[in-house]
């Protein structure tokens, strides 16, 4: 596995490498075939300038490379959000807060990463700019036909997995950080939403959107979260034997494919052998949400004028779901807000007494791109079959992760597969503002699983 941010900072301090050398390695990776379609815009020259100016190893990010999802404002650049609809929009006059905090910590921005159009999918497919293929950060190229990278932060995930970036800034509304983390064998941390500003980012759901990042390791995730949230993570040296974990049987373990089931069971067994207390529990049924829940009506409120002017330029799969939001009545939306708070209370009551919950991040391994991506020159029956498979896969990929967003919670996805398996993510999660406990537990779990 590639050296992580913290290891590289140590090498910088010891004089074993330089920011210029590390940047050129990342640029080489960004230009490699593994990153085809990962970037919609590269910033190599600007990154070189930053690496020279801000290469001091005493900064949290030490002049090292960061990729930025295409929905975040970067001063002087347009913010297309993975679409052609906003290609002529005015350039951003300032960095969004998340980007500004990364720059202030010494980050070199290597490029804007590809994404699902307007962030509306967990699969990672983009018909406008192509679809990057998943890459296993732990064990290298995936066997067989190219597989979906997960979305919506697709290019961000691949940029980190391939070594083009030490961290990928992205967003998570229903799993858009954790899904690509799981499918690319890297770490993704979805913090409690309120901890990092989402201003200056094209919204999907103003209720659920979270600004966060993917990294190579959990210890890097802690450093990056501290930068993005402008807060200190309270560290705990507690061993796994002092943690109480719960595995919810409701929904999260349904219809697991064989690879995911094997990796998850092996991970839970390893935690038990390390002395962790683990119970299997039932939780309340997931909150029912009409018309794609919060995302579609909140997205429609933002998009309705654009749809009238340029609806034919949207990915039809994205447009269909956004327009579904127009069908939700005001009273239904208000009822949904109230129902969510009641459901959160029931969920937290069921989780009481546990430090964190454990689940597979997603229930399946990455499907082949060819099975779900729209294609030119196919007949209507083939196109309809791909649409059906896309929506089936999308629902599965979002199923586990979206529960945490509805809960207003925090979650960490870390790789739990071994060599010879497709990437699988283990999700460690809890309710709002339990970020430090989840990160500390995840650090201990990662150290254990890396021995497998």
Name the E strands within 368-443: 410-415, 425-430
Annotated active-site residue 152? The verdict is yes
Annotated active-site residue 69? The verdict is yes
- Report pLDDT digits (tens) over 252-297: 999 999 999 999 999 999 999 999 999 999 999 999 888 789 999 9
- Quote the percentage of the chain above a pLDDT of 70: 98
Report yes or no on 307 lying in a domain: no
- Report pLDDT digits (tens) over 24-68: 999 999 999 999 999 999 999 999 998 887 655 689 999 999 999
Q: Is the pLDDT at 380 greater than 70, yes or no?
A: no
> Do both 212 and 347 map to the same domain?
no
- Report pLDDT digits (tens) over 122-140: 999 999 999 999 999 999 9
Report yes or no on 327 lying in a domain: no
Report yes or no on 330 lying in a domain: no
> Do both 266 and 401 map to the same domain?
yes
Number of domains present in the structure of the chain: 2
> Do both 46 and 162 map to the same domain?
yes
Q: What is the CATH number of the domain that holds 67?
A: 3.90.1300.10
> Do both 352 and 374 map to the same domain?
yes
Choose between 450 and 381: higher pLDDT.
Answer: 450
Active-site residue identified among 38, 83, 121, 152: 152
Active-site residue identified among 67, 159, 171, 176: 176
Please provide residue 427's backbone torsions phi and psi, each rounded to the nearest 5 degrees.
Answer: -100, 125
> Do both 174 and 247 map to the same domain?
no
What range defines the domain where residue 356 resides?
240-287+336-436
Q: For the chain, what is the radius of gyration of the CA atoms?
A: 20
Report yes or no on 448 lying in a domain: no
> Do both 153 and 173 map to the same domain?
yes
Annotated active-site residue 176? The verdict is yes
Report yes or no on 295 lying in a domain: no
> Do both 219 and 244 map to the same domain?
no
| pLDDT band (50, 70, 90) for residue 213 | very high
Report yes or no on 331 lying in a domain: no
> Do both 222 and 369 map to the same domain?
no
Q: Do residues 132 and 38 lie in contact, with contact meaning Cβ atoms separated by under 8 Å?
A: yes
Active-site residue identified among 69, 121, 153, 190: 69
> Do both 17 and 79 map to the same domain?
yes
Report yes or no on 235 lying in a domain: no
The predicted model scores a pTM of: 0.97
Beta bridge partners of 213: 169, 189
DSSP per-residue string spanning 262-277? HHHHHHHHHHHHTT-E
> Do both 66 and 103 map to the same domain?
yes
For residues 107 and 228, what is the distance between their CA atoms, to the nearest angstrom?
A: 12
Report yes or no on 172 lying in a domain: yes
pLDDT for the residue numbered 87: 86
Q: Taking residues 387-408, what's their average pLDDT?
A: 97
> Do both 166 and 35 map to the same domain?
yes
Two tokens at 117? 């159009």
> Do both 351 and 372 map to the same domain?
yes
For residues 413 and 216, what is the distance between their CA atoms, to the nearest angstrom?
A: 11
Choose between 379 and 199: higher pLDDT.
Answer: 199
**For the chain, how are helix, strand and coil distributed in percent, rounded to 5?**
45, 15, 40
């Amino acid at each position: 596995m590639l050296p992580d941010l913290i290891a590289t900072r140590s090498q910088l301090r010891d004089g074993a490498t330089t920011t210029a050398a590390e940047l050129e390695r990342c640029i080489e990776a960004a230009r490699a075939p593994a990153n085809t379609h990962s970037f919609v815009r590269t910033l190599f020259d600007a990154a070189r300038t930053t690496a020279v100016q801000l290469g001091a190893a005493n900064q949290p990010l030490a002049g090292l490379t960061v990729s930025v999802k295409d929905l975040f404002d970067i001063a002087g650049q347009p913010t297309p959000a993975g679409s052609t609809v906003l290609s002529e929009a005015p350039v951003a006059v300032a960095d969004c807060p998340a980007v500004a905090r990364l720059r202030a910590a010494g980050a070199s921005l290597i490029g804007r990463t590809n994404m699902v159009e307007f962030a509306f999918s967990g699969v990672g497919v983009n018909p406008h700019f192509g679809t990057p293929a998943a890459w296993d950060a732990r064990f290298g190229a995936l066997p067989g036909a190219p597989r979906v990278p997960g979305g919506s932060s697709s290019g961000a995930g691949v940029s980190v997995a391939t070594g083009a970036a030490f961290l990928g800034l992205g967003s998570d509304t229903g799993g858009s950080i954790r899904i690509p983390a799981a499918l690319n064998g890297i770490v993704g941390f979805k913090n409690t939403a309120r901890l990092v500003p989402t201003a200056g980012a094209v919204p999907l759901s103003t209720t659920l959107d979270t600004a966060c990042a993917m990294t190579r390791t959990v210890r890097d995730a802690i450093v990056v979260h501290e930068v993005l949230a402008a807060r200190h993570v309270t560290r705990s040296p507690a061993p796994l034997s002092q943690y109480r974990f719960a595995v919810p049987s409701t929904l999260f373990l349904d219809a697991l494919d064989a690879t995911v089931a094997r990796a998850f069971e092996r991970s839970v067994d390893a935690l038990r052998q390390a002395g962790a207390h683990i119970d299997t529990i039932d939780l309340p049924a997931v909150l029912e949400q009409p018309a794609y829940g919060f995302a579609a009506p909140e997205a429609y409120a933002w998009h309705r004028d654009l749809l009238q002017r340029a609806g034919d330029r949207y990915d039809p799969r994205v447009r269909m779901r956004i327009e579904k939001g127009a069908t939700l009545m005001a009273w239904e939306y208000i009822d949904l807000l109230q129902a969510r708070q009641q459901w959160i209370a029931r969920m937290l009551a069921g989780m009481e007494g546990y430090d964190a919950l454990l689940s597979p991040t997603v229930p399946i391994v990455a499907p082949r791109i060819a099975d779900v991506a729209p294609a030119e020159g196919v007949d209507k029956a083939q196109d309809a079959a791909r649409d059906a498979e896309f929506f089936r896969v999308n629902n599965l990929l979002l199923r586990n992760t979206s529960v945490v967003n509805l809960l207003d919670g925090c979650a960490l996805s870390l790789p739990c597969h071994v060599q010879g398996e497709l990437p699988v993510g283990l999700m460690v999660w809890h309710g709002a503002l339990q970020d430090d406990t989840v990160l500390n537990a995840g650090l201990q779990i990662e150290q254990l699983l890396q021995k497998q």
